[in-house]
């Protein structure tokens, strides 16, 4: 997933290994990199690879060299991804002709880009609690441990980030030098309104989905987190969502995971992102949103403010003492496909 530390690992590996190689190049995801620029960087001279013949010639010039290439952030954003995908395809196809000790390292949020092209795939895992607390404190306090009085607040921030380095660094930096009241207010606000900087990074993978895949993602965020995959597919297929392939795409793009026991799981930050995407559909009127959950679902139901925009509702009655229903409560919800009231 975005922010999990792929680029950090790639940069560390490059810094550690580059001295062992004859020709090296680090392709940053923020810059456009054509074959021309790649070979110019590797050969340390201006070259033109406008034709396949030219590219093959330059690759042959490297055949006896130990080469290290890192492609960082391949195709993270669709509208900027085409040239990187061409570069990826070319290198994966031709890299075998180089010295046997040459290495090509690729980072991406889409596992499917690597399948059948690389020797091994490493899935970056989230940080464990001790490492998470240390990283957060380095940003928030410029040391490895919390200041006195900030211990429980630091634990709350670490719990919210749940092992995602980007979230830990963003929150730590934001809270640096702030007083305890500011910390308390910020952490309370995060339960309802996610940090925008963190959300923007996570959202890049969502943006690249097609409409059906986006709907599946949002439905999982609202209704199907921690539910059996087969059960979810049956329900979503009844909504004509082509769920089998859609769920696999979400898994390939690290937006969800499926456990060994076939349970669909989603990182809390990803779920918050999904809830926020729907909230932004209409900030002032929950009845105009496609999906409703808990407090907002109750408000719309009790005040009979439903509209034909609503596609799904989930409501936990164990948290509600009395729920007022009208005879025509769901009459306006013509597009309602999923309702979960328990």
What is the pLDDT, as a whole number, of residue 78?
46
Is 203-272 CATH 1.10.10? Answer: yes
Whether residue 80 has pLDDT greater than 80: no
- C-alpha to C-alpha distance for 175 and 136, rounded to whole angstroms: 10
Q: What is the sign of the dihedral through the CA atoms of 120, 123, 124 and 129? A: negative
List C-alpha distances in Å: 240 to 198, 215, 232, 334, 338: 32, 11, 12, 16, 13
Using one digit for the tens of pLDDT, what is the confidence trace for 235-264?
Answer: 999 888 889 999 999 999 999 999 999 999
Supply the mean pLDDT for the chain: 86
How many Cβ atoms are within 10 Å of 230's Cβ, its own excluded? Answer: 9
Record: fold of 6-113:
Barnase; Chain D (3.30.370)
Domain ranges of the chain: 6-113, 129-192, 203-272, 285-341
Whether residue 76 has pLDDT greater than 80: no
What is the pLDDT, as a whole number, of residue 201?
87
Q: Looking at residues 146-162, what average pLDDT do you find?
A: 95
What is the pLDDT, as a whole number, of residue 79?
47
- C-alpha to C-alpha distance for 197 and 73, rounded to whole angstroms: 18
168 touches 134 (CB < 8 A): no
Instruction: Extract the tokens encoding 271.
Output: 């779920």
Q: What is the pTM of this model?
A: 0.83
Q: How confident is the model at residue 49 (pLDDT cuts 50, 70, 90)?
A: low
């Amino acid at each position: 997933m975005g922010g999990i530390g792929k680029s950090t690992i790639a940069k560390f590996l490059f810094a550690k290994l580059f001295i062992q190689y004859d020709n090296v190049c680090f392709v940053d995801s923020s810059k456009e990199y054509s074959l021309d620029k790649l070979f110019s960087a590797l050969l340390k001279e201006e070259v033109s690879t406008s034709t396949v013949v030219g590219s093959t010639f330059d690759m042959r010039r490297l055949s006896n060299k130990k080469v290290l290439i890192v492609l960082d952030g391949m195709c993270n954003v669709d509208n900027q991804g085409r040239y990187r995908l061409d570069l990826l395809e070319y290198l994966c196809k031709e890299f075998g002709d180089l010295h046997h000790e040459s290495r090509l390292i690729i980072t991406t949020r889409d596992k499917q880009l690597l399948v059948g092209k690389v020797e091994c795939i490493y899935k970056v895992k989230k940080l464990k609690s001790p490492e998470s607390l240390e990283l957060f404190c380095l940003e928030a306090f410029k040391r490895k441990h919390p200041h006195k009085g900030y211990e429980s607040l630091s634990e709350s921030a670490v719990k919210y980030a749940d092992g995602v380095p980007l979230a830990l660094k963003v929150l730590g930096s934001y809270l640096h030098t702030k007083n305890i009241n500011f910390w308390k207010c910020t952490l309370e606000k995060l339960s309802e309104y996610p940090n925008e900087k963190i959300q923007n990074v996570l959202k890049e993978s969502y943006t690249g989905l097609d409409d059906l895949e986006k709907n599946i993602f949002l439905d999982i965020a609202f209704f199907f987190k921690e539910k059996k995959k087969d059960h979810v597919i049956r329900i979503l297929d009844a909504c004509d969502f082509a769920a089998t392939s859609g769920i696999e795409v979400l898994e390939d793009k690290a937006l969800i995971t499926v456990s060994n026991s076939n349970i669909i799981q989603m990182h809390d930050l990803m779920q918050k992102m999904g809830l926020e995407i729907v909230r932004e559909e209409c900030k002032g009127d929950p009845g105009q949103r496609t999906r409703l959950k808990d407090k907002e679902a109750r408000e719309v139901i009790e005040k009979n403010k439903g509209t034909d925009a609503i596609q799904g509702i989930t409501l936990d009655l164990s948290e509600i003492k009395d729920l007022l229903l009208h005879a025509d409560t769901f009459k306006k919800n013509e597009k309602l496909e999923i309702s979960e009231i328990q």
